[in-house]
């Protein structure tokens, strides 16, 4: 069955630390890839997406993600996190054979001021 | 442009009761998807409606049903509630069907089953 795996359920970092959140999926065909973020008390919102082209995509608030097809991965990165990045981050994959998004379980990120 | 709205925001029900949740999508969006969110489980897809037709359904029992109206507003119904149905129910709207593009989420309805 198609699945999305987010390796860390909880991550705690200090401000200015670098961030990398892992996302792997199990599907060998073409995919659209998404990262969504849910800030405390706010709606889920799109952080960035990849459909095709340059595998390094940039999103809002200084986030970027790299699609590595050979590794079935779409890791999220930010060079220097801020306290306001405290949120839950979800990776989602849309396989071309499927008619729905497949979601990871989410990673709760806490940034210590 | 107004965002996705969901009503009610909070619900408390007892086992065996039924509940109806409502979602109004962003104007112009004809796709509405419903998700169940529980801690540690991420988002579990319930179903998607597009132009009043159910396009896809997740692995939930038949107690979970939905519909969409001609103005794209959607409702979700859960009958014979169980304790395990306690969750945050999210609605998302999109321009396209099938989950292939950005989805815009509402604030959710927090359902507690006692």
Nearest to A99 among B3, B35, B56 (CB): B56
Q: Which residues of B touch A36 (CB under 8 A)?
A: 105
CA A91 to CA B29: how far, in whole Å? 23
Distances (CA, A) of B78 to A97, B52, B96: 29, 19, 26
Name the minimum distance, in Å, from the CA of A107 to any CA of chain B: 9
Distances (CA, A) of A66 to A52, A63, B54, B57, B113: 12, 11, 34, 30, 41
pLDDT of residue B100: 78
* Side-chain half-sphere exposure of B24, counting CA atoms within 13 A: 9
Q: What is the pLDDT of residues B11-24, one digit of tens each?
A: 999 999 999 999 99
Mean pLDDT of chain B: 94
Length of chain B equals 114
Residue-wise pLDDT tens for chain A (113 aa)?
A: 789 999 889 999 999 999 999 999 998 888 999 999 999 999 999 999 999 999 999 999 999 999 999 999 999 999 999 999 999 999 999 988 767 889 999 999 999 98
Sign of CA dihedral B62, B66, B35, A93: positive
Q: What is the pLDDT of residues B57-104, one digit of tens each?
A: 999 999 999 999 999 999 999 999 999 999 999 999 999 887 778 999
Which residues of B lie closer than 8 Å to A, measured between beta carbons?
3-4, 33, 35, 40-45, 48, 55-56, 58, 90, 92, 97-108
Q: Which residues of A touch B40 (CB under 8 A)?
A: 9, 105-106
CA A46 to CA A48: how far, in whole Å? 6
Predicted confidence band of residue B42 (pLDDT cuts 50, 70, 90): confident
The helix or strand, by DSSP H or E, that contains position A86, with its residue range, turns out to be none
Write the CB contacts of A79 (distance below 8 Å, at least 6 apart in sequence): A18, A62
pLDDT of residue B97: 84
pLDDT > 90: what percent of chain A? Answer: 82
B6 contacts B110 by C-beta, under 8 angstroms: no
Nearest to B98 among A9, A99, A104 (CB): A99
pLDDT of residue B1: 67
pLDDT of residue B91: 97
CA A72 to CA B13: how far, in whole Å? 42
Mean pLDDT of B25-41: 92
CA B46 to CA B87: how far, in whole Å? 13
């Amino acid at each position: 069955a198609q699945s999305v795996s987010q390796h860390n359920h909880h991550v705690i970092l200090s401000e200015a630390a670098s961030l990398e959140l892992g996302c792997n999926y199990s599907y060998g065909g073409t995919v659209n890839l998404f990262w969504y973020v849910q800030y405390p008390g706010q709606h889920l919102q799109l952080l960035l997406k990849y459909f095709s082209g340059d595998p390094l995509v940039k999103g809002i608030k200084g986030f970027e993600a790299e699609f590595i097809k050979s590794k079935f991965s779409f890791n999220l990165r930010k060079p220097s996190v801020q306290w306001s990045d405290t949120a839950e981050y979800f990776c989602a994959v849309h396989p071309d054979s499927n008619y729905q998004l497949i979601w990871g379980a989410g990673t709760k990120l806490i940034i210590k001021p | 442009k107004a965002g996705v709205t969901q009503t009610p925001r909070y619900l408390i029900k007892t086992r065996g009761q039924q509940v109806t949740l409502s979602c109004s999508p962003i104007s112009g969006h004809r796709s509405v998807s419903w998700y169940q969110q529980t801690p540690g489980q991420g988002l579990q897809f319930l179903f998607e409606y597009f132009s009043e037709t159910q396009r896809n359904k997740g692995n939930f029992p038949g107690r979970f049903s939905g519909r969409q109206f001609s103005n794209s507003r959607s409702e979700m119904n859960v009958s014979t509630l169980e304790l395990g149905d306690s969750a945050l129910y999210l609605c998302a709207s999109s321009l396209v069907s099938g989950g292939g593009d950005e989805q815009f989420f509402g604030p959710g309805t927090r359902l507690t089953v006692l």
